[in-house]
Every structure is written in structure tokens, then in C-alpha cells.
């Protein structure tokens, strides 16, 4: 790979702005990289849609990022990774990294009693993508997987320390405590924001696996192996954020997920030939 290819941005997409938690983790680990982020806010949520629809949306998102000459693509959305990653990897000419395998590897490395819990959207849990990969790598593992669909809205409302969120999270995590899992995978873009609350509920003995951090680490390894990493510059890389719906109202929410100030958000169309 030549040097100018390594100078290209990394593409990342999600159903909305939640995937900026993954961008934040990428940013911490790979500060010199430019990142082009696509949030499919016109069609969010993905969590309750059919696999066919998710695959179609994901293909369009990948094609949009490829048209913008990215050197690798991160599927920041757990639901899209669960349903569409294999298709995207088959069809792409640049590396495509999902969030599931990195989360599974981290969970297996963390567990001591071989009892793992997973919470995610309806689509992620129903796809059994995490469960299948965990069993493939460790056949005798105990898994408790549970959909926690209310959490996305609570995070978007910024109800991170609201009593209602505490009650709902306690309800979702009660079976995990009863099953004595010692590791819980936070298998959704939004859940890293609930990490400290979940840790308080589950206690210090339970390891919470944040798929954002692990996906960023997997990306860094992949870029290095393919000689695609940008040489570290004094200057930090540029983050460009695009959404498929009007960006009004999005910026504040996006800043919360990204953990830094956002200059601008531009609206684009993922139709080939369309906007930007």
C-alpha cells in the first residue's frame, strides 16, 4: 500500500449518532487519523428492523463511504455488524471492521467463571451473532443474551442518571445478576454512556465489555498489519460528520456521544449520485 492511500480517512457508519462512541474510542487510540462518519439518521433505528432491510441500508452506507475514498470502514452499529458484516466484508475492496468479534474476544479474555451476559437491541440479540461467535470460540460457555430496547431512547433523552433509567437498567440486569455472569457485553452503540450506572448495579466483580473500545483496538491492529496507519502527526486528524436527515438538534446529542465539540454536521444522501 502506498503512503497516499494511508493518508485517506477511515470511514465509519451507524444508524444514527450513537456510533460516535466508537469514533471517540478511535480518536483516543488513533488521534492522527481523519475520520469520515456517516449517521443514517433518516432511517434510525436499525435495532427493530429486519435483517434484509439492515443489509440494504448497510450496503448503501458502505457505498457512500467508498465513494469518498476511505481506506477502511468501521461498522460502528452493533445491529448492522450483526446482520450485515459478512456481506460487506465480501463485497468491499477495503478492510471492513465490525464491533462483534472484538467484543467477543474481550469478553472471553475477561471472564473467569465462563458465564457471559450480553445486552443489545432486539435485532442484535435475535441475530445471535454474539452468541454464535462466543460458542464457536468457547463451546462450553454459558451465555445469557437479552434485548434491552428501552435503553437507546433513555440515553438519547440524556437521562443518564435519571431514576427511571436506574430502574429500567436494574430490571434488564436482574437476570444477569441471578445467573451470576462475571462479564457483560454492552452490545450497542449507546450503552457506553450507561457504563458507570451498570457497573454500580452489577457491582465491581463484573467486567463490562465496551464494544467501542475493543473495535477501535481491532481497527488499530488491522491498519498496522496492512501498513495503512497514518504516520503520527503533531496535528490531530479531522472528524467529518454527515447525517442522512437534517442535522438540526443532532449536534448537541452528537457531542455527548463523541465527547468533544463538533464544528458542523452536514446532511448527505447515500443514493449513488446524490448529495455530497
- The footprint of ligand DGL (CB under 6 A) covers 14-16, 18, 44-47, 77-79, 121, 124, 152, 188-190
- Residues annotated catalytic, as ranges: 77, 188
State the nearest-atom distance from the C-beta of 79 to ligand DGL, in Å: 4
Closer CB to ligand DGL, 24 or 124, in the complex: 124
Question: DSSP label at 130?
Answer: H
As beta bridge partners, residue 209 has 185
Peptide bond into 108 cis (omega under 30): no
Q: Based on CB atoms, which residue is closest to ligand DGL, 77 or 176?
A: 77
Integer Cα distance of 241 and 233 in angstroms: 21
Q: How far is the CB of 49 from ligand DGL (least distance, A)?
A: 8
Contact criterion met (CB below 8 Å) for 156 and 41? no
Minimum distance from residue 272 beta carbon to ligand DGL (Å): 23
Smallest gap, in angstroms, from Cβ of residue 99 to ligand DGL? Answer: 8
Torsion angle, alpha carbons of 251, 240, 214, 208, to 10: 0
Residue 155 or 228 with smaller CB distance to ligand DGL: 155
Say how many C-beta atoms besides its own lie within 10 A of residue 157's C-beta: 12
Closer residue to ligand DGL, CB minimum distance, 44 or 228: 44
Q: What DSSP character marks residue 214?
A: H
Shortest-Cβ-distance residue relative to ligand DGL:
47
Amino acid at each position: 500500500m502506498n503512503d497516499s492511500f494511508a493518508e485517506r480517512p477511515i470511514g465509519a457508519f451507524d444508524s444514527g449518532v450513537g456510533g460516535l462512541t466508537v469514533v471517540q474510542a478511535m480518536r483516543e487510540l488513533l488521534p492522527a487519523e481523519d475520520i469520515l462518519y456517516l449517521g443514517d439518521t433518516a432511517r434510525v433505528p436499525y435495532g427493530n428492523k429486519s435483517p434484509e432491510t439492515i443489509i440494504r441500508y448497510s450496503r448503501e452506507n458502505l457505498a457512500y463511504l467508498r465513494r469518498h475514498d476511505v481506506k477502511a470502514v468501521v461498522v460502528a452499529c452493533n445491529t448492522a455488524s450483526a446482520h450485515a458484516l459478512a456481506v460487506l466484508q465480501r463485497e468491499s475492496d477495503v478492510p471492513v471492521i465490525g464491533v462483534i468479534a472484538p467484543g467477543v474476544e474481550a469478553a472471553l479474555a475477561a471472564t473467569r467463571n465462563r458465564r457471559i451476559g450480553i445486552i443489545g437491541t432486539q435485532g442484535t440479540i435475535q441475530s445471535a451473532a454474539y452468541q454464535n461467535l462466543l460458542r464457536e470460540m468457547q463451546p462450553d460457555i454459558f451465555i445469557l443474551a437479552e434485548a434491552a430496547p428501552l435503553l437507546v431512547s433513555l440515553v438519547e433523552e440524556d437521562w443518564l442518571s435519571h431514576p427511571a433509567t436506574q430502574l429500567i437498567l436494574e430490571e434488564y440486569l436482574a437476570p444477569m445478576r441471578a445467573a451470576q455472569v462475571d462479564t457483560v457485553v454492552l452490545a450497542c452503540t449507546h450503552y457506553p454512556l450507561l457504563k458507570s450506572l451498570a457497573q454500580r448495579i452489577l457491582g465491581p466483580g463484573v467486567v463490562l465489555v465496551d464494544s467501542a473500545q475493543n473495535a477501535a483496538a481491532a481497527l488499530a491492529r488491522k491498519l498496522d498489519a496492512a501498513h495503512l496507519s497514518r504516520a503520527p502527526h503533531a496535528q490531530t486528524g479531522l472528524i467529518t460528520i454527515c447525517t442522512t436527515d437534517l442535522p438540526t438538534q443532532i449536534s448537541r446529542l452528537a457531542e455527548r456521544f463523541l465527547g468533544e465539540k463538533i464544528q458542523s454536521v452536514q446532511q448527505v444522501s447515500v443514493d449513488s449520485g446524490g448529495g455530497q
